A and B are shown apart, each in its own frame.
Chain A
Amino acid sequence: MSSWPPGLLLILGGLLLPGLPRNIRRFGLVLLPLASGLHLYWLVANGFPEPVGLILFDHELTLVRIDRLSLVWGTIFHIAALIAAIYSWHVTDRLQQAAAPAYAGAAIAGAFAGDLLTLFVFWELTAVTSVFLVWASRTDGSFRAGLRYLIIQVASGVLLLAGIALLAGERGSAALVFDNLWDRFQEGTAGFWPVTLILVAFGIKAAFPLLHNWLQDTYPEATVTGTVWLSAFTTKLSIYALARGFAGADCLVWIGAVMTVFPIFYAVIENDLRRVLAYSLNNQLGFMVVGVGIGTELAINGTAAHAFAHILYKALLFMSIGAVLFRTGTAKASELGGLYKSMPWTCGFCIVGAASISAFPFFSGFVTKSLILEAAVDNHYTLIYLVLLFASAGVVDHSGIKIPFFAFFSHDSGHRVREAPGNMLVAMGITAALCVGIGIFPGPLYRLLPYETEMAPWHTYSFGHVITQLQLLLFAGLAFTVLMRNGIYPPELRSVNLDTDWFYRRPLPAAVRACRRIVDRLRTHGVAVTGFFLERLRNALRELFGPTGLLARTWSTAEMVFWVSILLGISLVLYFL
């Protein structure tokens, strides 16, 4: 087992679970993350083990590489899987019980991949396994959203494969080692196109601006428990991939800053609270991407710490709204309110999550986000610092106030429901305790971070820092109160808001339908015209495929794989449309 990738137990367990009796499946789902976590800590008990290699078609692969950076993600992924498994205890659906651990295992194994090809395998496996958590809702909307999700996720993998193929074509298989690609690009040992393709592949899963909308489209369509699993792994695996491959890429500072800002406007006007949380997730990823872009030891530590804390408080928020959805049948703010009376524990846990994401002192976000802000100031990104402060005020609104206020307080919606099931309360309780624990005692988390830098008390609890942060948060709360009491705060309305998915849900299918109509018309009425065009097409094809044609040349395998990847991506999109 010493050569098994961490996470493999979860993947294998996911394959086995559906065949077992119901109660064993439940226990199995909880025991798998525990067993996999023990496996990981058995591997690192006596220091980091030697990487595990494999020769495949003359390519030297590194299946497992455990170091301080990957260990942060490996640790939090296991904790998240355990919490989500407890939260899912009541689920008896074999599909979800198989897909969820396999998905978590793929993300864990991906974080420990030492080369790009191994990463690609687990990258795609996360896509293929996670889509079942969306489809498990078994509604028409979730099926369509799942298809869109799968195409975008697979497209990310196709781009990654294309980048890998180009990289191997340029520099041989030694270039496939997964280290800082940005540094290699700067040094001239990796080309522009492979590095760009890999960055875009990572960017899709990290929900970069304009590539982001799969996140808000899909997560609210997944099952109550599925969204909790989804919130932890895909996007954070891509943040890990960025931290590993693109630390110090200064373009990411600006991309991340945009990511922190634009989702907050959407979150304010969104009615579906799980979609609000998806926008909020996008905004938090922006902080991490900024940290990766700054790339210093403090910034990477900040990114890792924030990813760790974020997985917990975001899961807690998704769990609390999931519990509301489970009990009331809706997560729409316009149909909720007053639930603190019937679900006081869930309400309390939601408030802990809201305080953590808002970075209230003594909650987890406070001790992690400040590292990224500090790194921005240290590196003279003053404008970025102000943008991050602006985004922090936005976080107070959409996740700190809006989520708990409209679900649990506001006007009484009349829902008289039971408190969340015991397993959900246990999962939320553990997560809330971790959020507060990290906030009060950040030492153990700081010691886990990738770089052993001096973490002075300033980073957390200097008096000046606490007072300034309290000012920001309390005055943002004051603004909410003033706007609410004066009837200026926008009411929650049953609606959808247009986002980038509009392009591939409205005009693109319309364009494809129009093309199809034109082709049909030509086929039936334009025989003479098409005859003329067919002649020209034949000549063009002869030029292309003839003995001296373009495609008769000898092409390298890498180039062929690249073009096959592109064609595969196009055919996927066309198939969907």
Chain B
Amino acid sequence: MDKSNLPQSPEPSHHWLDQPRNVNRIVKGLYLLCGLVLAVDLLDAWLGFKQQIHPEFARTFGFYGVFGFVCYVGIVLGAKQLRKLLMRKEDYYGE
């Protein structure tokens, strides 16, 4: 560890990501990409590029997007509940 590099108070920074405006741009970019992959998914009805996707129900429009979103939220909310049961102080084992 570099002893000279201990935590310091963050000074005003000019880094690109320190500007909330830029963070918002990234988030908007993500929304756009999500919309784009859904829009491409719509084209499957004409182009049939999901013919090789199995099982068949997974070819439903937006299946993977909805599944990913719901599972992610479920995992995080489930883990939050689990924390109430499992979390202990850092020195719990006395080591």
Name A's B-contacting residues (CB within 8 A).
Answer: 140-141, 144-145, 264-266, 268-269, 326-329, 335, 338, 340-341, 374, 377-378, 382, 385, 389-390, 393-394, 396-397, 409, 412-418, 458, 462-465, 467-483, 485, 488-490, 493-499, 505-506
Instruction: Report which of B15, B44, B86 forms a contact with A498, defined as CB distance below 8 A.
Output: B86
Is A480's CB under 8 angstroms from B72's CB? yes
Is A471's CB under 8 angstroms from B41's CB? yes
Please judge, given known A-B contacts A269-B79, A414-B7, A462-B49, whether A496 and B72 are in contact too, CB under 8 Å. no
Residues of A within 8 Å of B89, CB to CB, are 495-496
Please judge, given known A-B contacts A268-B79, A409-B17, A497-B86, whether A414 and B8 are in contact too, CB under 8 Å. yes
Bound together, the chains give a CA A409 to CA B75 distance in angstroms of 22
Is A469's CB under 8 angstroms from B64's CB? yes
Q: Give 17 CB contacts A-B under 8 Å.
A: A145-B95, A326-B1, A341-B15, A394-B71, A394-B75, A413-B7, A414-B7, A417-B5, A473-B68, A477-B30, A479-B68, A483-B76, A490-B79, A490-B83, A494-B90, A495-B88, A498-B85
Q: Which of B55-76 contact A (CB under 8 A)?
A: 55, 58, 62-69, 71-73, 75-76
Is A415's CB under 8 angstroms from B90's CB? no
List 8 additional contacts besides A413-B7, A472-B65; criterion CB under 8 Å.
A141-B95, A329-B1, A338-B10, A390-B67, A464-B52, A472-B64, A479-B73, A496-B87
Name B's A-contacting residues (CB within 8 A).
Answer: 1-2, 5-10, 13, 15, 17-18, 27, 30-31, 33-34, 37-38, 40-41, 44, 49-55, 58, 62-69, 71-73, 75-80, 82-83, 85-90, 92-93, 95
Residues of B within 8 Å of A269, CB to CB, are 79-80, 82-83, 86-87
Is A265's CB under 8 angstroms from B79's CB? yes
Residues of B within 8 Å of A417, CB to CB, are 2, 5
Interface of B is mostly: helix
Is A393's CB under 8 angstroms from B72's CB? yes
Residues of B within 8 Å of A141, CB to CB, are 95
Please judge, given known A-B contacts A329-B1, A470-B37, A473-B68, whether A382 and B90 are in contact too, CB under 8 Å. no
Instruction: Report which of B33, B53, B71 forms a contact with A393, defined as CB distance below 8 A.
Output: B71
Bound together, the chains give a CA A385 to CA B82 distance in angstroms of 25
Instruction: Report which of A458, A471, A479 forms a contact with B72, defined as CB distance below 8 A.
Output: A479
Residues of A within 8 Å of B8, CB to CB, are 414-416
Closest 5 CB pairs of A and B: A329-B1, A268-B79, A479-B72, A393-B71, A414-B7
Is A471's CB under 8 angstroms from B90's CB? no
CB-based nearest A residue for B51: A464
Please judge, given known A-B contacts A478-B31, A490-B76, A496-B88, whether A390 and B71 are in contact too, CB under 8 Å. yes
Instruction: Report which of B27, B34, B66, B88 forms a contact with A474, defined as CB distance below 8 A.
Output: B34
Bound together, the chains give a CA A265 to CA B81 distance in angstroms of 10
Bound together, the chains give a CA A15 to CA B87 distance in angstroms of 43
Residues of A within 8 Å of B62, CB to CB, are 471
Residues of B within 8 Å of A478, CB to CB, are 30-31, 34, 69
CB-based nearest B residue for A417: B5
Residues of B within 8 Å of A265, CB to CB, are 75, 78-79, 82
CB distance from A178 to the nearest CB of B (A): 35
Is B64's CB under 8 angstroms from A415's CB? no
Bound together, the chains give a CA A266 to CA B13 distance in angstroms of 34
Please judge, given known A-B contacts A413-B7, A481-B30, whether A476 and B71 are in contact too, CB under 8 Å. yes
Bound together, the chains give a CA A497 to CA B40 distance in angstroms of 42
CB distance from A388 to the nearest CB of B (A): 11
Residues of B within 8 Å of A418, CB to CB, are 2, 5
Instruction: Report which of B5, B37, B52 forms a contact with A471, defined as CB distance below 8 A.
Output: B37
Please judge, given known A-B contacts A490-B79, A496-B90, whether A474 and B37 are in contact too, CB under 8 Å. yes
Is A476's CB under 8 angstroms from B72's CB? yes
Is A489's CB under 8 angstroms from B76's CB? yes
CB-based nearest B residue for A462: B52
Is B66's CB under 8 angstroms from A475's CB? yes
Instruction: Report which of B51, B63, B73 forms a contact with A483, defined as CB distance below 8 A.
Output: B73
Instruction: Report which of A327, A338, A464, A476 forms a contact with B1, defined as CB distance below 8 A.
Output: A327
Residues of A within 8 Å of B72, CB to CB, are 393-394, 396-397, 475-476, 479-480
Residues of B within 8 Å of A144, CB to CB, are 95
CB distance from A409 to the nearest CB of B (A): 7
CB distance from A334 to the nearest CB of B (A): 10
CB-based nearest B residue for A373: B54
CB distance from B24 to the nearest CB of A (A): 10
Is B34's CB under 8 angstroms from A475's CB? yes
Instruction: Report which of B34, B53, B76, B87 forms a contact with A488, defined as CB distance below 8 A.
Output: B76
Residues of A within 8 Å of B10, CB to CB, are 338, 412, 414
Residues of B within 8 Å of A329, CB to CB, are 1
CB distance from A399 to the nearest CB of B (A): 13
Residues of B within 8 Å of A470, CB to CB, are 33, 37
Instruction: Report which of A341, A463, A481 forms a contact with B27, defined as CB distance below 8 A.
Output: A481
Instruction: Report which of A266, A341, A490 forms a contact with B80, defined as CB distance below 8 A.
Output: A490
Instruction: Report which of A268, A468, A476 forms a contact with B50, defined as CB distance below 8 A.
Output: A468
Residues of A within 8 Å of B5, CB to CB, are 327-328, 415-418
Residues of A within 8 Å of B58, CB to CB, are 468
Bound together, the chains give a CA A390 to CA B66 distance in angstroms of 11
